[in-house]
Structure 1
Amino acid sequence: MTTFTFANPTDLFLEIPTSIQNRADIHSPAFSNPISRYQAYINELCLGAVLPWLQEDFTQQAKVWPTTTVLPSFWELVNGTAVTVDATRFILVPSETIDLSELRVSQEWVDLPSLAGDYYLAVQVEADEGYVRVWGYCTHAQLKNQGSYDAGDRTYALDATDINGDISVLAVARELCSQTPTRAAIPQLPNLPQQQAQNLIARLGKSEILTPRLAVPFQLWGALIEHGGWRQSLYQQRLGLPEQWSVLQWLQNGVSQAAENLGWGRLNLQLSAAGARSAEETQAEVTLSRQLAIAGQLYNLSITPKGEADEIVWRFELRNATVGVAIPGGFKLRLLTEDLQPFPDNEDIATTAVEQLFVEVALEPGEGIVWEIEPLPENYERELLKF
């Protein structure tokens, strides 16, 4: 990693790795229009330069939040990237502007509880020169309390005079101020009814709407993209992709690329009927499964259809990936409706160590289910599974 020390001595200049420069595609087909493509390009260059620095100066465990595989669904819709350093969240805010008089942060990273960060890094991207300039940082509380809100483009702007311009003290400030709140209080948004969410996805899923984030009131927009499953649906719709999260299609045709990227796969289990004497009497059971890292151990979450085609019951099951190792007491497996509502018998709780947790549910065609596990798996983001 190369750092530069010219210009303002307190600024941090980081080289964009050649591999990132070569990979970042200004014409990427993963985005619906030139504005989103360019936004993604600048964010990828920024991330490629800043993440290695965070890993070197803070912790090797610094990583993209929630996971690199879903970054396109953010960059299609909003500028910025979240990186977690232990329990601290950094929001990288790239810009190509040569005007460094203020930092402008999209409202989503400030006013949505699940997206808000602790520290916001102002990053000037010099794509042609092959470097980025980290010229300041501030906290969430500073943005909310000292920043000015611009309703026109839904951003918070903080004047450069209110920003800490000495990046070298960031690590020290984070350690010394670990007991000082970095975030201002922000209220949860009201729940978005399922039908309204579907209407918004259909409306904003048209790629000719270049800035969907400004096309509807923020409360509606924020509630839509805070739901990982709905945000993914909107992204796929804007790209004209077919449904990626149909469990029935996964069983019939194989797991979609989007789901495979997050670790889903198909298992074919041969089940012998009691007393079966021939291959004809054994029955193939297809199970969908993905591995999850939870509290330092690996677990398998599986989905298996039970019963006949017209009366399928879906079994969601969690087991430790190591055969014979139990699930600790306190773990929970929970299913919610598409709009995150509970329903009768929707969760299984391990009051003591158990071999498995499972929930079985009968669903109408087209119904959606969201799974949750406590403690949260690493890189967890809500998925909307369609049945």
Structure 2
Amino acid sequence: MNAMTFANPTDLLLEIPVNVQNRADIQSPSFSNPLSRYQGYINELCLGAVLPWLQEDFAPQAKVWPTTTALPSFWELVNGTALLVDDKRFILVPSETIDLSEIRVPQEWVDLLSWAGDYYLAVQVEADEGYVRVWGYCTHAQLKEQGNYDPSDRTYSLDTTELINDISVLAVTQELCPQIATRGVIATLPSLPHPQAQNLIARLGKSEIVTPRLEIPFQLWGGLIEHGGWRKSLYQQRLGIPEQWSIVEWLQSGVSQVAENIGWERLNLQLSFVGSRGVEETQPDSILSRQLAIAGQTYELLVILQGEPDEPIWRFQLRNATVGAAIPGGFKLRLLTEDLQPFPNNEDIAATAVEQLFVEVALEPGEGIVWEIEPLPDNYDREILKF
């Protein structure tokens, strides 16, 4: 790597592991058009080099946010990758440009409350040379207070003179000043009504729209993709992938590959419980399960079909995966409409330790439900389950 000879001595140069180079596919079928495909390729190379360095030299617990399986649905739409290091979020901002005069961060990573980072790492990707250069970083507060916002491509930029160019300073800051303020003020976006979201997904779901993020005002765009279920729906629409989140189809034909990849499965067993009519009911093959890691323990979320075929009742049930173990006091299981609105009797709260939490709901065919749990499960990314 001759280029390393001329590198700024404070730059961090990291080799892209051979297995990552081999895996990163510039022709990947996970994207709808050449621009997204290339964006995904550069981000995968960047992540493959930077994450191992973070885990080996900085924080063994560093991990992708929200999940590795969700990354294509981000990269299809916006450049950048988020990593979690304890309670801090690092945003990797890769670029192939040789102009290292500024960092340019897409607005989504700055102005969406659930996406925003604490630290933003400027990464130059040298794909042909097999390495990346981490050449500086800044905080969210710096981008908001000192950065220049460019409405033409919806990015915040910060001049290299404003960046901290020595990446080793970041480790020292984390160790000696972990409570240092990193975040600027972020305005909450108005929520999108369900019909409007569906219209936007249909409109922006056409793969010939190369940069959907610039097609509509940011308030609408941000409200759409900040909702994990709608982001995934838009992604699937752009790739021409059929509906992957139909509970009825999962029970009839098996769980979709997309859902299986994040842990959903159909249980082939009899589960007994007292139903709403006070009688014990069991229905084999009508139970879906997903394991969740919450606060260091494993729990199981069950979706159970009850009632008559023409009047189904759906029971969402949370229990500890360890037989005999309880759910601690303070836990909440909550159901929301597809556009995140509450409804009567939509949550169950553990006032003290309990064996299970459950919510039962009657739904119209085609209706969507979003589940939430407090405390938040690891790797939580909103899902819209269709019924």
**2:346 is the alignment partner of 1:337:** no
What is the Cα deviation at residue 175 of structure 1? 2.6
Change (3 A) 1:271 1:263: closer
Superposition map of 1:172-183 within 5 A = 172-183=172-183
Match of 1:44 in 2: 44
Identity %: 80
Three-state SS of the structure 2 residue aligned to 1:27 is coil
Match of 1:94 in 2: 94
Give per-residue Cα distances to partners, 1:144-196, cap 9 Å, x unaligned: 11100000000001001101101111100223332221000101100110000
Give per-residue Cα distances to partners, 1:75-102, cap 9 Å, x unaligned: 0000000001111100000000000000
Q: Write the distance in 2 (CA, Å) between the matches of 1:283 and 1:57.
A: 51
Q: Write the distance in 2 (CA, Å) between the matches of 1:39 and 1:144.
A: 25
Three-state SS of the structure 2 residue aligned to 1:144 is helix
Match of 1:224 in 2: 224
Are the counterparts in 2 of residues 5 and 12 from structure 1 also a CA contact under 8 Å?
A: no
Give per-residue Cα distances to partners, 1:7-66, cap 9 Å, x unaligned: 210000000000000000000001000000000000000000000111112211100000
Match of 1:348 in 2: 348
What is the Cα deviation at residue 271 of structure 1? 6.6
For the aligned residue pairs, the C-alpha RMSD in angstroms reads 1.5
Match of 1:307 in 2: 307
Are the counterparts in 2 of residues 58 and 85 from structure 1 also a CA contact under 8 Å?
A: no
TM-score normalised by the chain length of structure 2: 0.95
Match of 1:133 in 2: 133
Change (3 A) 1:102 1:311: same
Give per-residue Cα distances to partners, 1:261-296, cap 9 Å, x unaligned: 110000022479xxxxxxxxx963421000000011
Q: Amino acid of the residue matched to residue 323 of structure 1? A: V
Superposition map of 1:6-155 within 5 A = 7-155=7-155
Are the counterparts in 2 of residues 271 and 285 from structure 1 also a CA contact under 8 Å?
A: no
Q: Write the distance in 1 (CA, Å) between the matches of 2:113 and 2:218.
A: 13
Match of 2:268 in 1: 268
Q: Amino acid of the residue matched to residue 340 of structure 2? A: L
What is the Cα deviation at residue 242 of structure 1? 0.4
Q: Write the distance in 1 (CA, Å) between the matches of 2:271 and 2:48.
A: 47
Q: Write the distance in 2 (CA, Å) between the matches of 1:57 and 1:120.
A: 18
Are the counterparts in 1 of residues 295 and 375 from structure 2 also a CA contact under 8 Å?
A: yes
Q: Amino acid of the residue matched to residue 180 of structure 2? A: T
What is the Cα deviation at residue 6 of structure 1? 5.1
Q: Write the distance in 2 (CA, Å) between the matches of 1:339 and 1:104.
A: 31
Change (3 A) 1:283 1:357: closer
Three-state SS of the structure 2 residue aligned to 1:269 is coil
Range 28-37 or range 176-185, more displaced: 176-185
Superposition map of 1:317-328 within 5 A = 317-328=317-328
Match of 1:185 in 2: 185
Q: Amino acid of the residue matched to residue 256 of structure 1? A: S
What is the Cα deviation at residue 299 of structure 1? 0.3
Q: Write the distance in 2 (CA, Å) between the matches of 1:309 and 1:106.
A: 48
Are the counterparts in 2 of residues 27 and 37 from structure 1 also a CA contact under 8 Å?
A: yes
Q: Write the distance in 2 (CA, Å) between the matches of 1:271 and 1:26.
A: 47
Size of the alignment, in residue pairs?
A: 377
Q: Write the distance in 1 (CA, Å) between the matches of 2:112 and 2:271.
A: 47
Range 136-145 or range 285-294, more displaced: 285-294
Three-state SS of the structure 2 residue aligned to 1:129 is coil
Match of 1:275 in 2: none
Q: Write the distance in 2 (CA, Å) between the matches of 1:144 and 1:101.
A: 18
Q: Write the distance in 2 (CA, Å) between the matches of 1:116 and 1:283.
A: 44
TM-score normalised by the chain length of structure 1: 0.95
